[in-house]
Structure 1
Amino acid sequence: MSNTPSNSKDEDEIPPPQRPPSPPLYTTFAARGVHPPTFSAFKPRDYRMSGSQGMTHVAWNCDGKKLAAVGVDKITRVWLPEKSMETRSASMFSGGHTDDVDYVSWNPTHPDLFCTSSQKDRRIVFWDARQTRHTQQCSLKVSPVQTSYSPDGRALLFASAGHQVFFLTFRKDEDDEKEQWKLWERDPSRPPLTGSTGMFNYVGDGIILTHHSEHTIRVMDYPSLAVRESPAAHVGGCVAVALDPRGRYLASGGYDSIVNMFDLNDWICARTITVCEHSINALSFSHDGEYLAIANAGNYIDICATETGIPLHRVPALAPSPTVAWHPSKYVIAYCGQTKIREGGPPPAAVISMFGLLE
């Protein structure tokens, strides 16, 4: 492992993509009786929205019937993709933010509840898709960048632009008439919790944190925040993580363009995926855990086999995507971005894309 400074140009050092060595036979699709979709038969469906800004985040709700996108303006758009993805068919949610919305997360326990965050107006806003007005606004002293619900939907982790991690909890204090989201006040004698991204585990008794300038991942108990594991992951910083729905693996991605697959039993890196030529932006497992989608700083999304790390398909994208999300029950990914200005070409546009079969 070389001690490459984090500010070096990783792109210059990345070798061309290579097919990994043949995996053990028992890990292959054939040996396990798995029939992968013919990804090469699918075509990306790209939906453009004119404007000078790009989409920054897309997310499916828990039943997969709704897809939300943010980033273009102060409005959150929610589509019913099985009916239409036309711009005018989206439900618009506005009035909660005074500036651009950056991130959206759906409550894992209810298909209509979601929250949005904005770095510029320093708010996290909670919504119910059955009504146009927000249900609660939380004004913060920091700029929230990324949010993640606990499995029971009653806690929300958020990472700030200053790379600190905080929590909101849904509770009722003595003076309250009803439950509402409130900042969880940590012990002031303890140092602040640092991290660039964070997520809960599937039980809700632990969190996983990454930091853009740290090469390790931190696995901590919740709510005690005692460090349980701290495996080394990436040279130059870890920027993305995803949990296998089967509970076998944690995937991590870094500025080094590498994806590591950690075995959750012993926290040892089971395999490394080196298919990407660019730094990793986001990771997402399919609902059955068999496939990993990798968004990166290049104009493509890679789909790889979880058990072998073998690349299965490279999805061409109109722009680098900051995010990628598998549908919760189907072989469909959603991603987004902004097209570049090209001389003599059309003006830049926000784009939201889907790849796979919704039917």
Structure 2
Amino acid sequence: DIWGGRSRAAAQMTSSAYIAHVLDPLISPQYVDQDMAYEKAFAKLADDPPGRRDYLRGFKRCSTYAIDWAGDKLLIATKDNALRLHEPGQSSELRSWPGEWMSMQCDPNSPHVAAAVAWGGKFRVFDTRDSASYVHDVELRKTSTSMKEFLFLCWSPDSKFIAVNNRSDQVYLIDLRQTQSASIRLGASMSMQHEVNQMVWSTEGDALWIATGGSPGKLHVYPTPSLQKDASVSVAAHQYTAISLAADPTGRYIASGGGDTLVTLWDPRHLICTDSFGFATQAVSTLGFNYDGSLLAWGTGGSGSTGGEKNLSIVSANTKNLYWQDTTPAPVQQVRWHPNRNTLAYTLNVAQLPDERERRLSGRDTAVVQLLTIPDS
């Protein structure tokens, strides 16, 4: 049990090591046991990686736009114009939904329900357990000619709204509070002056955080559901372009990753940077907290990234210790934790994966979707 009590954790270490953890001024006493347990778990992972690392079987060599957990299954938006549902451990996909889907995300309160937006303007909310079951299936471009070329979406924590953005850097809120299954309502909208890279809702659902390009890379915080510009706040988060965002499920932090290779942690209430991590060597393209907010993972990828670099990192969100850095066969594009256990799914850049000849010579894995399970301590 990774959450074992103090006496158990102490018994598994020398007394001097345990005392050193307790006296470390950088580690809050309440996290000492957890930190020791994680250190042991990741050491076990390093000693026996084949037993804890896996890949998604039956997923063909195809580029991905997004990945999320639909319960215990993985839903993947691919560049071959389909959403594909897979169950880890099985060798074939369960079902798929054709379309130019650019982004999707599962409902935070009903993980079997997912929302997706397509490049051409289609918006869909559907049950992943049935390939023909749709809650909403709407052509948004019929509502407004500007509602097309979508790139990203994210659910509000209460599942009442979905934020979407398009290539023109316009942000829209879609109101899902209507009870009629075919009815949705457009909420507030706005146009950003800089490139929108990613969005995330605060855990309380009262603010939408937006990472934008430029120098410096800024985080813009807008009140929801109004998106009132006069009430918004902007903070400079990175020297160059803010790329990725993630919200701690406990509400303590918003994490951002930038083109400056830094990961920063923000207090969402006071809008101050509390910590930063400099372990990355390339732009931080994706990041995510685990189910209880104790772990933060990120992946690096960009024009300068290659396979063989330490493109996957995992740190403690509590003690800020670095637990894991992995040399991946190619840059990491997306990371996503399982909703209730410490299993991380991540995708690799297909264009930079080794080809079959290189794979045979080097022995490096070419799987696009990989899985990493943190063992119990």
> Same fold, TM exceeding 0.5?
yes
Q: 1:315 to 1:134 in 2, by over 3 A?
A: farther
What is the letter of the counterpart of residue 110 of structure 1?
S
Identity of aligned residues (%): 21
The normalised TM-score by structure 1 is 0.79
Aligned to 1:239: 243
| Deviation for aligned residue 1:252 | 0.8
Distance 1:185 1:221, change over 3 A: closer
Query: Normalized per residue, which structure has more helix?
Result: 2
Instruction: Show structure 1 runs of 5+ residues with no match.
Output: 1-21
Classify the secondary structure of the residue corresponding to 2:32.
Answer: helix
Partner of residue 92, structure 1:
95
Does residue 266 (structure 1) correspond to residue 273 (structure 2)? The answer is no
Displacement of 1:137? 2.6
1:93, distance to aligned residue in structure 2 (A): 2.2
CA distance in structure 2 between the partners assigned to 1:273 and 1:91 by the alignment = 39
Cross-structure match for 1:344: 357
Root mean square deviation, CA, Å: 2.9
1:114-133 per-position Cα deviation (integer Å, ceiling 9, x unaligned): 022333x3323221123212
Shift of 1:27: 3.0
1:240–1:253 contact (8 Å) kept in structure 2: yes
Q: Does residue 111 of structure 2 align to residue 106 of structure 1?
A: no
Residue 163 in structure 1 maps to residue 169 in structure 2? yes
User: Per the alignment, in what secondary structure is the counterpart of residue 38 of structure 1?
Assistant: helix
Q: Which residue of 2 aligns with 1:216?
A: 218
Distance 1:162 1:346, change over 3 A: farther
Structure 2 counterpart of 1:317: 328
What is the Cα deviation at residue 354 of structure 1?
A: 0.6
Q: Which has the higher contact order (CA 8 A, sep 6+)?
A: 1
- For 2:9, the equivalent position in structure 1 comes to none
Give the drift of 1:103. 2.2
User: Offset of 1:197 from its aligned partner?
Assistant: 1.5
Match of 1:133 in 2: 132
Letter in 1 for 2:276: T
- Find the aligned partners of 1:33 and 1:137 in 2 and give their Cα distance: 45
For 1:356 and 1:230, locate their aligned partners in 2 and report how far apart those are by CA, in whole Å. 37
Alignment partner, residue 4 of structure 2: none
For 2:126, give the aligned amino acid: W
Q: Which range moved further: 217-226 or 347-356?
A: 347-356
- Alignment partner of 1:166: what SS? strand
Q: Residue 345 of structure 1 aligns to which amino acid in structure 2?
A: E
- Whether the 8 Å CA contact 1:196–1:209 is kept in 2: the answer is yes
User: 1:25-44 to 2 correspondence within 5 Å?
Assistant: 25-27=26-28, 31=32, 33-34=34-35, 35-36=37-38, 38-42=41-45, 43=49, 44=53
**Which of residues 321, 334, 337 is equivalent to 1:326?**
337
- Residue segments in structure 2 that go unaligned for 5+ positions in a row: 1-22, 142-146
1:1-47: CA deviation from partner (whole Å, max 9, x where unpaired): xxxxxxxxxxxxxxxxxxxxx97344378636542162243332123
**Which deviates more, 247-256 or 220-229?**
220-229
What residue in structure 2 maps to residue 292 of structure 1? 296
| Cα deviation, residue 67, structure 1 | 1.8
Taking a change above 3 Å as real, the CA distance of residues 53 and 224 of structure 1, as seen in their structure-2 partners, is same
Task: Using the TM superposition, give the Cα deviation of residue 198 of structure 1 relative to its aligned residue in structure 2, in angstroms.
Answer: 1.2
- Cα distance change of structure 1 residues 264 and 56 upon mapping to structure 2, 3 Å threshold: same
Aligned-pair CA distance for 1:352: 0.8
Partner of 2:160: 154
Change (3 A) 1:79 1:68: same
- Post-superposition shift, 1:178? 4.2
Q: How many residues align?
A: 321
Contact residue 163 and residue 211 of structure 1 kept, 8 A: no
Alpha carbons of 1:133 and 1:153: their partners in 2 closer, same or farther (altered >3 Å)?
Answer: same
Residue aligned with 1:329, SS: coil
